[in-house]
Amino acid sequence: MRITKKERQKKLVQALEADPFMTDEQMAKLCQVSIQTIRLDRMELGIPELRERIKLMAESNFDRVRSLAPQEVVGEVIDLQLDQSGVSILEIKKEHVFERNGIARGHFLFAQANSLAIGLVDAEVALTISAEIRFLRPVHINEKCVCYAKVVKSQFSRTYIEVRTKVNSEEVFYGKFVVFRQKKK
């Protein structure tokens, strides 16, 4: 049984609220229609394409980061609630992978998670004290890494942050970071 255009568009809006990084291809599969139909629905609803959605979210959220300069963040910060949670996205490109197999170099995934953890801390100076990390599967060229960080606990001058990076809905990286925050003078 086919759903109506109105029902499909409602489903599309709900899916994008749950995951704003869905591609047109993923939405087409979800709604069981063509990619062109999804593009027309997006245009009719005034929903920008994925790159524009990412850019808009990044621009509106980076200003909140206090502990890092823009060039020090790996990935694009698209959501940030200081001392609570944050989200960044990193598209794996040619410069991020090993030439012979197209697999992302681990230090890029770590750097994305680490810079988001530091950026989450509401302090002028925030430094990583320690990190316990696990790489759960290789990440390949052209995959989008969505990094989610949340503060687990703050104690004195330390903030404990849990970070999970996913490609689509599959977790590919996990880390526990302890970040030093300089006390206000």
Domain ranges of the chain: 5-47, 60-181
CATH number of the 60-181 domain: 3.10.129.10
List phi, psi (to 5°) of 160.
-105, 125
H or E segment and range at residue 162: strand 158-167
What is the reported pLDDT for 156?
87
Q: Which CATH architecture does the domain made up of 5-47 adopt? A: Orthogonal Bundle (1.10)
Average pLDDT of the chain to the nearest whole number? 86
Per the document, the length of the chain is 185
What is the reported pLDDT for 104?
96
H or E segment and range at residue 41: helix 35-45
State pTM to two decimals. Answer: 0.69
What is the average per-residue pLDDT within 46-62?
A: 67
Report the C-alpha gap between 165 and 172 in whole angstroms: 6
